[in-house]
Structures are given as C-alpha cells and as structure tokens.
Amino acid sequence: MYSFHSISLKELKEIHYKSNFPSTSFEWIFNWFSVFKNVENNVFGYKKKPYIIASYMHDELVAIIPLVKLTRIYYKCLQLEFVEFLGQQWSCVGEDLIVLKELDSSYTEELIHWIKKHIKFHFIFFKYLPKSSVLNKKYKLYHYSGAPIIPVSSYSSYEDFYMHAYAKKFRKKLKRTQRKIEKDGFNLQLSYEEINRNNFEDIKRIAKSKEIDGKSYVYGDPNKEKFHLSLYESFPSHVMFAKFNNTPVAYVANIDVDGVRIGLDCAFDRHYRIYGVGVQCMDCNIQNCFKEHKKKFSFGAGLDDYKFQFTHKVEDYYMSFDFTYRLKSLLALPYFLYRLRREDKHVLKELAKLHCDV
C-alpha cells in the first residue's frame, strides 16, 4: 500500500529530484504558478489551487505529482472543476508523474483513488504524457501533440545530419537564399549569446513582426513575457541571432537541460522574408548543437510545418482523462469524449502525412 500527502510548493523546493521534463522541475513549476496564478480565463483556468502530491512506500518518497485544481466556464454559465498537471495549460514541454523509485502495478489505481477521495472535481485531464507513463497502465492514451526532435548524438557530425536529414530541395533552398543575401549586399553574421535584458529587446522587436502576418507573438502578453524571462534566468539560456550588417533579423532562443537543447521560441523579421533568414538562423542553431555535442535538439511541443524542414522525427505526446459521477460530469462527458477523439484523429492524420513526406 502506498500513502499520499499533499505538500506545498515550498516543501517541494526542499526535495532534490531529477525529472524527465524541464516542465516538471521545481524551477519551471514555481515560475509558472508565480506568474499565472492570478491569470483567469478558460485556457489557464479560474480559481487555481496547487495540489502537489508526495507518494510514499514504507516512509520512502517514491513519486511526486504536481497538480492544480481549476475551474473553467462553458456556455457562459456551466462551471466545471478540473484536476490537471500544474503548467500543462500553456508552454509545456512534456508532463508526467515524477517517478523516484520503481512503482508496482497497484500504484496508479491507489493514486487516483486518493485524488478522488481528497479533491472535489468533475474531470481529470493529463496532457503531454509520454507513451511510457505509468498512467498508461490505467488509462487509454489519446494522441495529443508532439515535439519534433533532432537526435544529435545519433549522427557522426553535422555534415552527416545535413546529407541524411535535409531533403535535397531544402538544401538547395539554404544555398539559394545564402547567394541572394550576398547578392543584395548584406553581410550575414551569426551570433550565439547569453540572453540578457539588452538582446531581449531585439528578440521582442523581431517577434513583434509576426503581427504583419496577422499572428500574435508571445511577448505581446506581459505575463507570458515575464514567464519566458523567468525561464531564461532559471536555466542555461542562449539566443542564436542571424544579423544583417550587425542588425538582428532572426533568432532562436534556447534553454539547456541535461544535455538537451530546447528551442523555446524563434522568429524572423518579416521585412526580410525573401532571404529565408529564419531557416538560416535555425540551421546555424542546429550546427551549434553539434559543435557543443548536445544529445538532442527539441523544437518544443507543436507539429508546426516549418519544423519538418529540419527533421521528420517526433516525440509523441498523449492525453488521458477521468471523471467523477456527478451530474455536471455526466452531462459534459459526451462533449469531452468527442473533443478527445477529434484531437486524436487530427494528430494521427498529421503524423501520417509527415511519414508519407519522408
């Protein structure tokens, strides 16, 4: 039998643990809740309350589950209570139970029983799960998203990667845009820098040009900007700039965790669209991963088309759910089942299209 106790974020800080994902580390969890606890909408939820569950076997800590209870409003009046991973609501790069010791087959059943007994809710949603999650022993996993990756350590060099991963058409595109840059009199400079307050202004300026295409940009929201800054300060972080005559025109902002480099954010100045500065910058960012002997480069969650110019390898993310037998839960259940199945089919379709393009 396992025992479970709810602990505070302050108590979590005192536990030294290693997590599989940066977004389950204490630094990420603490920064996320500090920034977004009072942001209330249907994405982040209303009335957020953290539930950090510590699991024990014979007084030995075996797992930690960072959860949050929140409310969302549907059809302007239907309030539903959810239990979710703390932070899965936005800017997540993978979630799961933080497993410290091997867990037996009864663990998940006992955990969910404890949650249902001690937390009042309508639905549980666990998102961004790996296929290997112990939750897979209890719940059906639905495809939810994915993180395109480059397994840097599996290639002998960048040149090996370049020839085997890049399509011939894409290699020609990189060379063609390089020639155009030179022909039009620009001096392309590449600069890999620690992120600081000064170059962050260049990052924001370039990102803002997304508005030309009718897109929003992350730093247009002061809370999202604050959160990104907290990540750049909490983890080893650098930015790869592509510059035209000393003026930054594209960037990739990265954090490093356990030998893995994660591209949290990237953008190019839309005024220089014809020069392909975005792909030039990302390609150089990838080259730098090989130079620094990283294990892997991750483009972060999301199956965006531009990422698949560089790779066709994806780490799949899944979602699972549960509910309690309450009137509102039963009324809303068909709607959420429909959404789950629709998302599952959509992601499977995107992945199938990707494999067909290889």
Q: Once rounded to an integer, what is the mean pLDDT over residues 326-355? A: 94
- Name the burial class of residue 201, with classes exposed (0-12), middle (13-18) and buried (19+) by CB atoms within 10 angstroms of its CB: exposed
Q: What is the pLDDT of residue 257?
A: 96
Integer Cα distance of 114 and 54 in angstroms: 11
- Reply yes or no on whether the pLDDT at 274 is more than 50: yes
Question: Residue for token digits 């930054």?
Answer: 248
Q: What pLDDT is recorded for position 221?
A: 97
C-beta pairs of 255-258 under 8 Å, 24+ apart in sequence: 255/22, 255/231, 256/294, 257/22, 257/25, 258/18, 258/295
- What would the pLDDT profile of 4-58 be if each residue is shown by its tens digit? 999 999 999 999 999 999 999 999 999 999 999 999 999 999 999 999 999 999 9
**Helix H or strand E encompassing 288:** helix 277-291
CA-CA distances (angstroms) from residue 213 to 33, 198, 217?
31, 26, 11
Res. 358 pLDDT band, cuts 50 70 90 = very low
* Residue 246 confidence class, pLDDT cut points 50, 70, 90: very high
- pLDDT value of position 356: 52
For residue range 214-224, list pLDDT tens digits in order.
999 999 999 99
Residue 236 CA to residue 25 CA, distance in Å, equals 14
Counts of helices then strands in the chain (DSSP H, E): 9, 13
Strands 78-85 and 60-74: antiparallel
Whether 261 has a pLDDT exceeding 70, the answer reads: yes
Do residues 354 and 308 lie in contact, with contact meaning Cβ atoms separated by under 8 Å?
yes
337: tokens are 């089942």
Q: What is the pTM of this model?
A: 0.95
Percent of the chain at pLDDT exceeding 90: 98
Query: Residue 130 pLDDT > 60, yes or no?
Result: yes
Q: What is the mean pLDDT of residues 151-168?
A: 97
> What pLDDT is recorded for position 353?
82
Residue 357 host element (H or E): helix 327-357
Q: What is the per-residue pLDDT across 91-123, written as a single tens digit (0 to 9) for each?
A: 999 999 999 999 999 999 999 999 999 999 999
Q: Which domains does the chain have, with CATH numbers?
A: 3-145+315-357 (3.40.630), 152-294 (3.40.630.30)
* pLDDT confidence of residue 354: 79
**Partner residues linked to 191 by β-bridges:** 241
Per-residue model confidence (pLDDT) at position 355:
67
Share of the chain above pLDDT 70, in %: 99
Tell me the pairing of strands 260-268 and 296-298. Answer: parallel
